[in-house]
Amino acid sequence: MRKLKIIEHISLDGVIQHSADGDDFAYSDWTAPYRTPAGREAMLAAYGDKFDLLLGRRTYDIWSGFWPQAPSNPMGDLLNAATKYVVTHHPETLEWGPCVAVGPNLIADVLRIKSQDDPDLVLSGSSTLTSNLLEHGLVDEVLLAVYPVLLGTGKRFFAEGSTARAFKLINTQAFPSGIIFTTYEFAGSLATG
């Protein structure tokens, strides 16, 4: 059985949106000033040598408009080679492959995909999927690359009203640029005092 890992670049106030994509978002590519070779290597290690992607349709469309045409680089090569499991109502329009459409029964389909003996799944972006997958206990690990910025607006990692959950800290790594990679594993229901 493979793991499902969420990997997100996130502001201090929980924003994961990086581009306008038709929305009124003023801070496109806000992570760029903080990128370093050490951060890139750590992110590549977090993804692993081989993985598949689980993506919402909007993230798939944004990425498919960039990565297939990007110059060859370690991250782009891995993303282009990964099988993309895409949650979509229009599978006939998926062109950036290899790809597999995930049907209308998200939870059953993700359970089926996770049960396969294939590389781990990585979900990045796709904010509409995150809360639903966490609520059903399908996420094994969460890596947050936290940037030292407040954006005040934009799509957030968790939807309002998400089910309370507990996580166990696995690892933390700080970089001179101010980014902190924090990795958690799912630990069950939230205990209160």
Least confident of 2-6, 28-32, 54-58: 28-32
Residue 156's pLDDT band (boundaries 50, 70, 90)?
A: confident
pLDDT at res. 46: 93
pLDDT at res. 150: 94
pLDDT at res. 23: 64
Contact in structure between 192 and 180 (CB atoms under 8 Å) = no
Domains held by the chain: number: 1
Inform me whether the pLDDT recorded for 22 exceeds 60: no
**Domain extent for 50:** 4-189
The residue among 39, 47, 2, 21 whose CA lies nearest residue 128 is 21
**At 42, which helix (H) or strand (E)?**
helix 37-47
Pairing of strands 121-123, 4-11: parallel
Q: How far is the C-alpha of 82 from the C-alpha of 48, rounded, in Å?
A: 11
DSSP 8-class letter at 140: -
Beta-bridged to residue 7, according to DSSP, are 143
